[in-house]
């Protein structure tokens, strides 16, 4: 059974004018509750606790130090702890290292651009593989179109072996670890940084 849940607005603003995760839609459809008899996959060689938040679990991963650094620099850490449900497509450290603008975005003057980049990896609602499959099967082109909290779309496709996520610049990332359930949503690990606009 699916449930509708309205995301609560976060009262704390990031910087002078940046709300952490502005939500494009009012009602969020949640997927079927995750199976209780299936353990979460490990992420970054670490156990992922279903009762912990997205931020707390990311902090345990050995593969997401760069993402945590970016969230801290953008002032978005508290949003991933306080808000939900959210689906996060989390690039690994190696993905950030391959993104040549990553270090530049960590500079104070680029805080807004960094926050937008991170918001582009977040979707309001919990979209596990079962929910993505349903959207893909419903779609005319076999694609699930998701609205990120930045207000720009990403596309999810399914192949025999993989799920891929394509950004608005036609850059594609592969989901390497899927369906990591959190107390405030679901996490998918991706092997590339998604870009909301051409550099």
Strand 153-158 vs strand 143-147: parallel, antiparallel, or unpaired? antiparallel
Residue 14 lies in a domain: no
Confidence of residue 20 (pLDDT cuts 50, 70, 90): low
Tell me if 107 is assigned to some domain.
Answer: yes
* Crossing angle (nearest 10°) for helices 65-74 and 111-119: 120
Give 30's pLDDT tier (boundaries 50, 70, 90): low
Q: What percent of the chain has pLDDT over 90?
A: 64
Residue 120 lies in domain = 42-190
Q: Is residue 176 part of a domain?
A: yes
Q: Are 47 and 41 in contact (CB under 8 A)?
A: no
DSSP secondary structure code for residue 115 in this structure: H
Name which of 4-8, 23-27, 88-92, 113-117 the model is least confident about: 4-8
State the Cα–Cα distance between residues 191 and 170, nearest whole angstrom. 15
Per residue in 35-75, pLDDT (tens digit) is: 666 789 999 999 999 999 999 999 999 999 999 999 999 99
Q: Could you tell me the two tokens for 74? A: 């953008």
Give the range among 7-11, 69-73, 111-115, 155-159 with minimum mean pLDDT: 7-11
In a domain, 24, yes or no: no
φ, ψ for residue 177 (rounded to 5)? -135, 125
Q: Is the pLDDT of residue 8 over 70?
A: no
For the chain, the domain total comes to 1
* Most distant CA pair in the chain, distance: 47
User: Which pLDDT score, from 0 to 100, does residue 6 have?
Assistant: 34
Evaluate whether residue 140 is within a structural domain: yes
Residue 30 counted as domain residue: no
Averaged pLDDT score across all residues of the chain: 84
**Strand pairing class (3-6; 27-30):** antiparallel
Does 141 reside within a domain?
A: yes
Q: 54-68 burial, b if ≥16 CB within 10 A, otherwise e?
A: bbbbbbbbebbebbb
Question: Residue 80: which CATH number?
Answer: 2.30.180.10
pLDDT tens profile 169-189: 999 999 999 999 999 999 999
pLDDT at 25: 45
Predicted pLDDT at 2: 37
DSSP 19-41: -TT--S-SEEEE-SPPPTTSPPP
pLDDT at position 82 is 85
Give tens-digit pLDDT for 121-152. 999 999 999 999 999 999 778 899 999 999 99
Q: What is the pLDDT of residue 35?
A: 67
Say what the pTM is.
0.85
Pairing of the two strands 185-190 and 86-91: parallel
- What secondary structure letter does DSSP report for 71? H
pLDDT on residue 49: 94
Decide if 180 is inside a domain.
yes
Determine the Cα–Cα distance for residues 56 and 172; give it in Å rounded to an integer: 27
């Amino acid at each position: 059974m699916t449930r509708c849940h309205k995301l609560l607005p976060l009262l704390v603003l990031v910087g002078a004018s940046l709300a952490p995760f502005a939500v494009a839609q009012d009602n969020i459809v949640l997927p079927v509750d995750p199976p209780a008899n299936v353990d979460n996959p490990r992420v970054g060689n670490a156990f992922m606790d279903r009762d912990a938040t997205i931020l707390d679990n990311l902090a345990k991963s050995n593969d997401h130090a760069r993402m945590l650094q970016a969230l801290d620099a953008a002032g978005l850490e508290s949003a991933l702890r306080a808000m939900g449900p959210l689906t996060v497509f989390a690039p690994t450290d190696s993905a950030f290292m391959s993104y040549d603008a990553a270090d530049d975005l960590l500079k104070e003057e680029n805080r807004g651009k960094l926050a937008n980049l991170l918001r582009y990896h977040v979707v309001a609602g919990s979209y596990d593989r079962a929910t993505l499959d349903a959207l893909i099967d419903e779609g005319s082109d076999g694609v699930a179109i998701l609205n990120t909290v930045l207000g720009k779309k990403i596309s999810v496709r399914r192949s025999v072996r993989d799920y891929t996520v394509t950004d608005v610049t036609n850059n594609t990332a592969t989901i390497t670890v899927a369906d990591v359930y959190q107390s405030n949503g679901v996490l998918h690990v991706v092997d590339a940084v998604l870009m909301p606009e051409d550099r």
